Amino acid sequence: MLFKERKLKGVYEIQLEPKEDNRGFFMRAYDEHIFHEHGLHRDWVQENHSLSVYKGTVRGFHFQFPPAAETKLVRVISGEIFDVFVDLRKGSPTFGQWDSIILSPQNKKLLYIPRGFAHGMCTLMDNSTMLYKVDNYFTPEKEGNIQWNDPDLRVPWPVTGTPIISEKDSKAKSFKDFVKTYGGIEL
C-alpha cells in the first residue's frame, strides 16, 4: 500500500498494490499494522455499503457532529465515483476548502477522511458501489448536511442534466448557514 497525503491535512489517498497472475489478482484492502505505521489506525466499528443505480446520483455533503464524528475509509468496488471532501474543522488552515478524487475498481484507491470533514460523491457510471468503514456509530441526532451544490464551495460536479438527489440532501443547509450557526466542528 502506498500512502499519499492530499492537500487537506489528514486526508490520505491510498494506492492498493495487487499481485496479478493469469487467474486475476489478490490485494490487501486493509492491514491494521500498515495503517498503524502511518499513524492512521482506527477502531473501525461499522462498515457501510452504498449502491447508486444511476449515473449522476449525488450524495452529500454528510457529516456527524462530535462526539459522533467519523473517520471514513472509502473504497469503490463497482462503477466510478467522483468523491469530494470538505474541511469543517474549526481553526484548520484549510477550513472551508475541498478536494476530490476519482475512485473506481480499476484505479484501486482507498480514501482516508479524518473526523471533521463533510463527505459527498457523484456517480460517474450506473451501478456504482461504495464500501466505507467508519470509526464511530451512526447517530441520527448528530447528523449534519451541507448543500451539495453550495455556491460558496463551488465544487465543479461532473453532472450533466438534473442530478439524482435525496429529499434530505435537497433540504440541506448552506455552508454560510453552517458557519454562522456552528463556526466549524470542534474536535
- Does 112 score more than 90 pLDDT? yes
Residue 146 contacts residue 173 (beta carbons within 8 Å): yes
Look over the chain and give the mean of its residue pLDDT values, rounded to a whole number.
97
As a whole number, mean pLDDT of residues 80-95 equals: 98
Q: Which residues are marked as active site?
A: 62, 132
Which CATH number is 2-182's, of 3.40.50.1820, 2.60.120.10, 1.10.490.10, 3.30.1490.20? 2.60.120.10
- Cell reading at 163: 442530478
Contact 139, 68 (CB under 8 A): yes
Q: Quick count: other Cβ atoms within 10 Å of Cβ 168? A: 11
What the block records as the C-alpha cell of 65 is 457532529
Q: How many helices (H) and strands (E) does the chain have?
A: 3, 13
Q: What confidence score (pLDDT) does residue 35 get?
A: 97
Instruction: State pLDDT tens for residues 130-175.
Output: 999 999 999 999 999 999 999 999 999 999 889 999 999 999 999 9
Residue 25's pLDDT is 93
Residue 88 — very low, low, confident or very high, per pLDDT cuts 50/70/90? very high
Q: What is the pTM of this model?
A: 0.95
Domain ranges of the chain: 2-182
